[in-house]
């Protein structure tokens, strides 16, 4: 059955995947199986398939194509105006998905292997990517992660994680404030101390990604209007740069705040969801082969990516880049994750062509025709 990239893209955008990816995963699995590809859904909910060339050996190259099935809410219905497709997921990341599936099915594979691995939860917990990192072959040579980059080749991105600062005092009746320790009174000093964190801790700006940011985003506290509040919680967003890691950050911020706040105030810093992975900062060598091959094929710029991405998970295994059709924002404002999300259909087709060229270059295609490996095991 011939695969049509634009028909698949339309079907994907019409398929809601903001609350559950079950319907979208079924569409993808059925599409691949209809084209004769053996597919499995692994223990992390990822859709995984691979193709191998006839000359594959233990020393041949292995390339990963990855993007995600899920989208942020709310669903935005499919619309088409000429070559412009609007709707939730149009560019983030069903444009990349359609292009990657098309390239995976079409590319001739010489002496290597290409794996298509599509995750279910990039917009939330990223446990699918974490599962892939644990189960993919250790011989992975490069990874391409599909996100809206305007066909630029993005070799680095800041990390992103969320945490909460809990400030504790002692409750009392508001008629005599001196009987308690008012946690609300240290909100201002705490935020001021957060603003000084990177200078105080000597967090250097990254040559590629610039400076990290630490932003308070929510404040909660108090139980009654006539009671001295004994606890306040400040939620924050951290955009990190290498070499900072999310697991090390809470203790560092807590020590910084402890030195600047009154002794009678308790301070605790924790990650919002410590049991699931956060997208860490990463940087691939801009001279890596995958960067150069994709740049030559696309003609795009080589630059950092403007948002956090689960590409950082695959960067633990091999040189990794972010690449795909569409943009995060344009001159009018946000595009991805916004009510006006859109992508140009010609950019989706162009992305597929670029990926085919990249696959065939990375996997050393010669005059010998490729053979599709029907097995999906690793």
Give the pLDDT confidence of 269-314 residue by residue, as tens digits.
999 988 888 889 999 999 999 999 999 999 999 999 999 999 999 9
pLDDT at 1: 55
Structure tokens at 115: 């794996």
Domain assignment present for 255: yes
pLDDT digits (tens, 9 = 90+) for 112-157: 999 999 999 999 999 999 999 999 876 899 999 999 999 999 999 9
CA-based nearest residue to 152, from 321, 275, 364:
321
| Same domain as 58, residue 146 | yes
Average pLDDT over residues 38-54: 93
pLDDT tens across 90-120, in order?
Answer: 999 999 999 999 999 999 988 899 999 999 9
Tell me the pLDDT band of 378, cut-offs 50, 70 and 90: very low
**CATH number for 209:** 3.30.70.360
As for how many domains the chain has, the answer is 2
CA dihedral of 247, 249, 255, 261, whole degrees rounded to 10: -130
Same domain, 53 and 139: yes
Question: Is the preceding peptide bond at 93 cis, omega within 30 degrees of 0?
Answer: yes
Same domain, 291 and 336: yes
**What's the confidence (pLDDT) of residue 120?**
98
Please tell me the predicted confidence (pLDDT) of residue 53.
Answer: 82
For 362, the enclosing helix (H) or strand (E) is helix 345-362
The answer to whether residue 367 is domain-embedded is: no
pLDDT the model gives residue 276: 83
**Same structural domain, 33 and 135:** yes
**Would you state the pLDDT for residue 213?**
95
> Residue 333 — pLDDT band, cuts 50, 70, 90?
very high
Of 171, 217, 167, the C-alpha closest to 189 is: 167
Which residue range forms the structural domain that includes residue 317? Answer: 5-157+281-362
Rounded to whole angstroms, the Cα distance separating 294 from 224 reads 59
Structure tokens at 95: 């444009």
User: Per-residue confidence at 375, pLDDT binned at 50, 70, 90?
Assistant: very low
Tell me, yes or no, whether 373 lies in a domain. no
Chain segment 182-222, per-residue pLDDT in tens: 999 999 999 999 999 999 988 889 999 999 999 999 999 99
Instruction: Read off the pLDDT band of 181 (50, 70, 90).
Output: very high
Q: What is the mean pLDDT of the chain?
A: 92
What are the distances in angstroms from CA 163 to CA 27, 89, 126, 250?
36, 27, 17, 8
Residue 317 lies in a domain: yes
Going by pLDDT thresholds of 50, 70 and 90, the confidence category of residue 365 is low
What pLDDT band is residue 376 in, cutting at 50, 70 and 90? very low
12, 119: one domain: yes
* 102/34 same-domain check: yes
Check which CATH number belongs to the domain holding 43 and give it: 3.40.630.10
Q: Check residue 57 and give its pLDDT.
A: 58
What letter does residue 316 receive in the DSSP assignment? Answer: T
DSSP state at residue 210: B
pLDDT band at 367 (very low <50, low <70, confident <90, very high): very low
Inform me whether the pLDDT recorded for 69 exceeds 60. yes
pLDDT at 275: 80
Q: How many CB atoms lie within 10 A of CB 273?
A: 13
pLDDT over threshold 80, residue 58: no
HSE-CB for 295 with a 13 A CA cutoff:
14
Whole-number pLDDT of residue 155: 97
Would 204 be classed as within a structural domain?
yes
Report the C-alpha gap between 49 and 354 in whole angstroms.
20
Q: How far apart are CA 214 and CA 220, in angstroms?
A: 18
Helix (H, G, I), strand (E, B) or coil at 183: helix
Mean pLDDT of 31-35: 96
199 and 170 in a single domain? The answer is yes
């Amino acid at each position: 059955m011939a695969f049509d990239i634009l028909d698949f893209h339309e079907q994907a955008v019409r398929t809601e995947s903001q609350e559950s990816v079950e319907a979208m995963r079924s569409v993808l699995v059925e599409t691949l199986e209809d084209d004769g590809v053996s597919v499995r859904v692994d223990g992390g909910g990822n859709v995984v398939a691979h193709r191998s060339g006839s000359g594959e050996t233990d020393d041949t190259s292995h390339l990963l194509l990855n993007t995600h099935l899920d989208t942020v809410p709310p669903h935005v219905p499919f619309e088409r105006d000429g070559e412009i497709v609007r709707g939730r997921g149009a560019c983030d990341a069903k444009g990349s998905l359609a292009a990657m599936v098309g390239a995976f099915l079409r590319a001739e594979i010489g002496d290597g292997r290409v794996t298509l691995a599509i995750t279910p939860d990039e917009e939330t917990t990223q446990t699918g990517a974490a599962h892939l990192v644990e189960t993919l072959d250790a011989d992975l040579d490069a990874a391409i992660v599909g996100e809206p980059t305007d066909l630029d080749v993005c070799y680095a991105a800041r990390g992103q994680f969320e945490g909460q600062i809990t400030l504790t005092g002692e409750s009392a009746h508001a008629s005599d404030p001196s009987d308690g320790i008012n946690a609300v009174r240290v909100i201002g000093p705490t935020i001021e101390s957060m603003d000084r964190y990177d200078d105080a801790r000597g967090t250097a700006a990254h040559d590629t990604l610039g400076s990290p940011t630490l932003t308070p985003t929510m404040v909660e506290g108090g139980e009654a209007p006539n009671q001295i509040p004994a606890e306040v919680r400040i939620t924050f967003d951290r955009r990190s740069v290498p070499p900072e890691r999310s697991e090390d950050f809470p203790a560092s911020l807590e020590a910084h705040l402890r030195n600047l706040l009154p002794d009678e105030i308790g301070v605790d810093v924790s990650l919002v969801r410590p049991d699931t992975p956060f997208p860490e900062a990463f940087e691939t060598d801009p001279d890596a082969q995958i960067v150069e091959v994709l740049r030559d094929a696309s003609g795009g710029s080589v630059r950092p990516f403007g948002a956090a991405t689960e590409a950082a998970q695959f960067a633990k295994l091999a040189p990794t880049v972010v690449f795909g059709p569409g943009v995060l924002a344009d001159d009018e404002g946000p595009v991805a994750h916004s009510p006006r999300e859109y992508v140009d259909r010609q950019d989706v087709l162009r992305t597929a062509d670029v990926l085919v060229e990249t696959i065939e270059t990375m996997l050393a295609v010669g005059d010998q025709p490729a053979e599709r490996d029907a097995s999906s095991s690793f």
